[in-house]
């Protein structure tokens, strides 16, 4: 197999193994409704094997950023339907990442009277809000009954995404957001069935993912994890605990028959990640590029060395709407402009140039 060959991830059939990583871009405005500009952005990248959307909030309380899109209201679902139609019209596949930000937020962002987390522990630092930078607030520790509500919000959002025409959903269990907060002993100090031991800390992530798989079919569901990412005060620094926690998580997920497992880690070929891959027993998307940009050569090697079934690409997918064509033909790449990653409008979003037709004709 090679990077440009087809692959099936459960019910998701990809024309190639280059996947667009979920990328926060904050273009949805105050109402969280995906716009025509967002539809154009994703449609431009439809030649990628699969697009994973930016993290999308399943409830007002779970919104992490101003400008983040949601999948709560009818208007938001209709916006996503237009996005899916635009991608499908160009032959692409698109999966929604469903994300509860947990304590990575502020009531000035959510418009609610609280933010939530596994435990009442605030992040040390400041958050950008429409009112400027403010200290992260102390979150409300979710009760057992409230955990059921949060799980049901994930499920309802996933069903809404499928009904809107997206091809699948990805459960966001990474990058310091709510589900990742449950996995870490630094952010989860509960003393009930969802805290304490590695098995208990993994329990809520397994329950949420199982409920989503039951609702929309496991072949349409993936999950993203980022062990030892150590971001947003979700610290995982004890190697033995990390191994036990993610081992318990994978043991709970493996029987579900999910479409894929996406692993963000700086050493995708190492024993730890490859051990998780074996434990999962299904198709795995590798993503090494949070700290450094994943290159064409690295992506090719990950597939040809059988260390992954597909590769998630972030910044180069932002800068190159025709990344597949560029990489397949060995053409030069546009460089991403980080100053526009979290800006507004088309600049740095839909205006990156495609390869000139004359270049493709000579290829």
Q: Under 8 Å CB-to-CB from 351, ≥6 apart: which residues?
A: none
Give start and end residues of each alpha helix (H) in the chain: 36-44, 74-89, 107-110, 144-163, 178-183, 198-216, 239-253, 271-280, 296-304, 315-319, 323-329, 357-362
H-helix or E-strand containing 251? Answer: helix 239-253
Pairing between β-strand 284-287 and β-strand 310-313 as defined by DSSP bridges: parallel
42, 177, 260, 349: the catalytic one is 177
Longest pairwise C-alpha distance within the chain:
65
Catalytic, 177? Answer: yes
Q: Under 8 Å CB-to-CB from 11, ≥6 apart: which residues?
A: 168, 217, 219, 220, 259
C-beta separation of 47 from 327 below 8 A: no
3-class secondary-structure state, position 170: strand
Q: How far is residue 272's CA from residue 279's CA, in Å, rounded to a whole number? A: 11
The residues assigned a catalytic role are 177
């Amino acid at each position: 197999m090679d990077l440009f060959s087809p692959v099936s991830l459960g019910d998701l059939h990809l024309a190639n193994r280059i996947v667009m990583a979920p990328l926060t871009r904050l273009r949805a405005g105050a109402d969280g409704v995906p716009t025509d500009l967002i539809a154009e952005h994703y449609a431009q990248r439809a030649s990628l094997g699969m697009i994973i959307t930016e993290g999308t909030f399943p409830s007002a309380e779970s919104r992490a950023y101003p400008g983040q899109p949601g999948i709560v209201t009818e208007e938001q679902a209709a916006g996503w339907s237009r996005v899916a139609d635009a991608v499908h019209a160009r032959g692409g596949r698109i999966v929604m990442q469903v994300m509860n930000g947990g304590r990575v937020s502020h009531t000035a962002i959510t418009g609610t009277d609280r933010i939530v987390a596994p435990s009442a522990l605030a992040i040390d630092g400041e958050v950008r809000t429409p009112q400027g930078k403010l200290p992260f607030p102390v979150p409300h520790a979710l009760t057992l009954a409230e955990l059921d509500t949060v799980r049901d919000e994930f499920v309802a959002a996933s069903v809404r995404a499928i009904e809107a025409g997206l091809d699948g959903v990805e459960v966001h269990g990474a990058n310091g957001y709510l589900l990742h907060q449950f996995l870490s002993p630094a952010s989860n100090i509960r003393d009930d069935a969802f805290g304490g031991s590695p098995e208990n800390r993994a329990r809520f992530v397994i329950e949420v993912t199982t409920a989503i798989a039951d609702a929309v079919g496991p072949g349409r569901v993936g999950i993203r994890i980022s062990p030892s990412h150590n971001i947003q005060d979700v610290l995982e620094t004890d190697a033995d605990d990390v191994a036990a926690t993610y081992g318990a998580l994978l043991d709970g997920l493996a029987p579900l028959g999910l479409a894929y497992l996406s692993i963000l880690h700086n050493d995708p070929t190492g024993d730890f990640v490859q051990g998780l891959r074996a434990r999962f027993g299904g198709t795995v998307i590798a993503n090494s590029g949070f700290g450094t940009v994943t290159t064409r050569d690295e992506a090719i090697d990950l597939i040809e060395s059988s260390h992954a079934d597909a590769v998630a690409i972030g910044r180069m997918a932002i800068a190159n709407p025709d990344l597949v064509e560029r990489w397949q033909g060995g053409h030069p790449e546009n460089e991403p402009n980080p100053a526009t990653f979290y800006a507004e409008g088309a600049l740095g979003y839909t205006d990156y140039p495609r390869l000139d037709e004359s270049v493709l004709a000579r290829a």
